[in-house]
Structure 1
Amino acid sequence: MELTTIWFSLIAILWIGYFTLEGFDFGVGMLLPILGRNEKDRRVMINTIGPVWDGNEVWVLVAGGATFAAFPEWYATLFSGFYLPLLLILVALIVRGLAFEYRGKRDDDAWRARWDLAIIVGSYVPALLWGVAFANILRGVPIDADMEYVGGFFNLLNPYALLGGLTTLMLFITHGAVFISLKTDGPIRAEARALAMRLGLGAAVVTVAFLVWTQLDTGSAGSAVAFVLAALALVGGLVAIRAGREGWAFLGTFVAIALGVAGLFLALFPDVMPTSLSDGVSLTTTNASATDYTLKIMTVVALIFTPIVLGYQAWTYWVFRKRISTHHIPDPVPEPAAVAVGDSGGGTTQD
């Protein structure tokens, strides 16, 4: 197997890891105003992803870095052509990360409400725009003979791409609901399980529509198999959540997203960014790749460090594997009252 094919496959694996792991992070954030009826419920929801959300984001950083090093032409065309949506995603991820860190810095309802809004918006925006971006890559965008993107922002807002965005959004919010039911106990667990069933039905309809459209438009035999298995895994996850088997349900949504993303890359190969212009040039694993020497060095580095990263992340999930509920959340500590300074006959007060 050629190194270009190996690195295309590795980049696909990185995106699978990102969507399956960060997907439930986005889902938890999107569900914050629905399941988080009070501060303790919201604390429980945020704490389910608190130890892992930043580690899950590493996958997209590595995917971007690997694309830059292994396929520089793909990286350059993608980030120049999709500049605005990718910038919106980046800003949303930054604001969302700040919200996780700062919402608990002050015991003030208005303060927390503003950061909660940042978490919600910072979860919805990437969940939608990642699907829009990947759908456009599959559909093809205007790339000229110089391998440069010559379209505009509104070229990306076509019906197929918007359906792709709705698909990732629905899958992620379902994945998040299943994760909350898996990681919590008490009333929020039951509510999340019931909500996951309702959301999952909508996600199944949208996902099947998008995958069928993709298969008819650009699919291959390999993508067809992956898409069918993804649909079956999603159905299996819904059956499991209905039976109260949250672990199996989470596995079902996890596998459905993984196989769906794998199918998209199988449908794309050997292109990495096809052109929609008759006189344009599609970017492929061959004409967009780095030199063989670069790919060889990257392969050695990946073989050394990938097992370390996977082991560390697996250990993190194992350590924080137990369920949490509202009785684990302490009551807020009141701010200290003013303390008198001076003698008994009079004086001033200070905070």
Structure 2
Amino acid sequence: METLFGIDYPTLWFLVVGGVFSGYAILDGFDFGAGAWHLFFRKELSRRIALNAVGPVWDGNEVWLVIGGGALFAGFPVMYATFFSGLYIPFMLFLMFIIFRAIAIEFRSKEEWLWWRKMWDICYSVSSIMLAFLLGVVLGNVLQGIPIGPDLEYDGSPFLGFLNPYAIITGFTTLFLFMSHGAIYLLLKTEGRLFDKLEGLLKKGIILFIVFFVITTLYTLIYIPHLSDDFKSNPILFIFPILTFLSIANIPRLAHKKRFKIAFFFSALTIALMMALVAIELYPTLLYSTIDPANSITIFNAASSDKSLGISLTMVAIGTPLVLGYTFFVYKTFAGKVQLDDHSY
């Protein structure tokens, strides 16, 4: 097995996939969160400002999802096939809601009719809520595991098997994390009465997130013991959950001091650290088999050939600076408070 810097190719690609999905969760997470609050804004002006806060960046954020899906397929095709077969329904729902959300953003301002705008407001907000929730549901199933047979193919119910208690709890945890993340982002982009309203909404979002985060953590420790095995065998890894708790605690402290730029940084850091925890809990497993752990899909039995991974890693080395440069340019260009004009949504 070939290595780079002393690390085997499947592990490097595992880190690449994890990094891309972490970037996606941070970037699309705040605009899902912003959309989830949309119906809490009663005035037309407030809704337009909130929509235009994410207007210049939401489609660029979704590029990270496309890259993540492509990276998963390129590096771990066996995982890709089993993953999408087992969780077909939530992925199809996710695709449906992401389409409706995009349509709502683009269509809302096309007509002045009140019923038209209300319809698309509801579509936009409900889609944002469901997208955040479904991401958590999928993550919960990945962490808990799904039925995988000895042939590494999905061997469970094709219908509602994905809606288990742990997945639902993880879904709500993800939703409220994104809503808190989104509220902080909107606070950076708004002022006046809408700013004041968002301060109150942020407090509610943080409380709900912390409650569900604690519930999810306790459920994980009690009912899903295989996720804590690496921490027990390598106590040094406890630095990650400690850093996660400290990062979470910093968000309400900074929000109370109205230091929202730094609060947004710690909100993003919290998401990154939680994704790091997921990676530590799973590695080297990609998809745990609830039928027999021996049937689990790992980075080794699911990986492409070393030659394919080597070529892909070269493309990552070339493409990563371009994607990061584009992302920086867009956010730098549209920095500051939202100012509505004739070209606004």
Q: Following the alignment from structure 2 to structure 1, what is the Cα–Cα distance between the partners of residues 244 and 268?
A: 10
From 135, 140, 143, the equivalent of 2:148 is 143
Instruction: Indicate if the aligned counterparts of 2:188 and 2:336 stay in contact, CA closer than 8 A.
Output: no
Deviates most, 269-278 or 214-223: 214-223
| Identity among equivalent pairs (%) | 36
Query: 1:215 offset after TM fit, Å?
Result: 4.9
Aligned residues: 329
From 174, 189, 194, the equivalent of 2:195 is 189
* Equivalent residue, structure 1, for 2:20: 14
Query: 1:109 offset after TM fit, Å?
Result: 1.4
Deviates most, 210-219 or 82-91: 210-219
From 123, 135, 139, the equivalent of 1:134 is 139
From 218, 238, 241, the equivalent of 1:227 is 241
Q: Following the alignment from structure 1 to structure 2, what is the Cα–Cα distance between the partners of residues 279 and 184?
A: 50
| Residue 90 (structure 2) pairs with residue 85 (structure 1) | yes
Question: Aligned partner of 1:284: which letter?
Answer: T
* Equivalent residue, structure 2, for 1:55: 60
* Equivalent residue, structure 1, for 2:257: 243
Q: Following the alignment from structure 1 to structure 2, what is the Cα–Cα distance between the partners of residues 11 and 65?
A: 9
Q: Following the alignment from structure 1 to structure 2, what is the Cα–Cα distance between the partners of residues 224 and 133?
A: 25
Q: TM-score, normalised by structure 2?
A: 0.91
Q: Following the alignment from structure 2 to structure 1, what is the Cα–Cα distance between the partners of residues 256 and 267?
A: 13
* Equivalent residue, structure 1, for 2:327: 313
Q: Following the alignment from structure 2 to structure 1, what is the Cα–Cα distance between the partners of residues 163 and 292?
A: 21
SS at match of 1:272: strand
SS at match of 1:155: coil
Higher relative contact order (CA 8 A, sep 6+): 2
* Equivalent residue, structure 2, for 1:341: none
List per-residue Cα deviations over 1:30-76 (Å, max 9, x = no partner). 10011x21111000000110010011111111111000010000000
* Equivalent residue, structure 2, for 1:340: none
* Equivalent residue, structure 2, for 1:100: 105
Instruction: Indicate if the aligned counterparts of 1:128 and 1:165 stay in contact, CA closer than 8 A.
Output: yes
Q: Following the alignment from structure 2 to structure 1, what is the Cα–Cα distance between the partners of residues 103 and 148?
A: 36
* Equivalent residue, structure 2, for 1:270: 284
Query: 1:127 offset after TM fit, Å?
Result: 0.7
Instruction: Indicate if the aligned counterparts of 1:72 and 1:289 stay in contact, CA closer than 8 A.
Output: yes
SS at match of 2:289: coil
From 207, 212, 225, the equivalent of 2:213 is 207
Query: 1:306 offset after TM fit, Å?
Result: 1.0
* Equivalent residue, structure 1, for 2:204: 198
Flag as ranges the 4+ runs of structure 1 deviating above 6 A. Answer: none
Query: 1:279 offset after TM fit, Å?
Result: 7.5
List per-residue Cα deviations over 1:207-251 (Å, max 9, x = no partner). 133234335621233764323212211110111111111111111
SS at match of 1:213: helix
Q: Following the alignment from structure 2 to structure 1, what is the Cα–Cα distance between the partners of residues 146 and 294?
A: 10
Question: Aligned partner of 1:254: which letter?
Answer: A
List per-residue Cα deviations over 1:298-338 (Å, max 9, x = no partner). 0111111110111011111011111126xx457x9xxxxxx
Query: 1:198 offset after TM fit, Å?
Result: 2.1
* Equivalent residue, structure 1, for 2:119: 114
Report the structure number with the largest CA radius of gyration: 1
* Equivalent residue, structure 2, for 1:344: none
* Equivalent residue, structure 1, for 2:11: 5
Instruction: Indicate if the aligned counterparts of 1:4 and 1:285 stay in contact, CA closer than 8 A.
Output: yes
Q: TM-score, normalised by structure 1?
A: 0.90
Cα-Cα RMSD: 1.7
Q: Following the alignment from structure 2 to structure 1, what is the Cα–Cα distance between the partners of residues 110 and 68?
A: 32
List per-residue Cα deviations over 1:185-213 (Å, max 9, x = no partner). 11111111221122102211211332343
| Residue 47 (structure 2) pairs with residue 33 (structure 1) | no
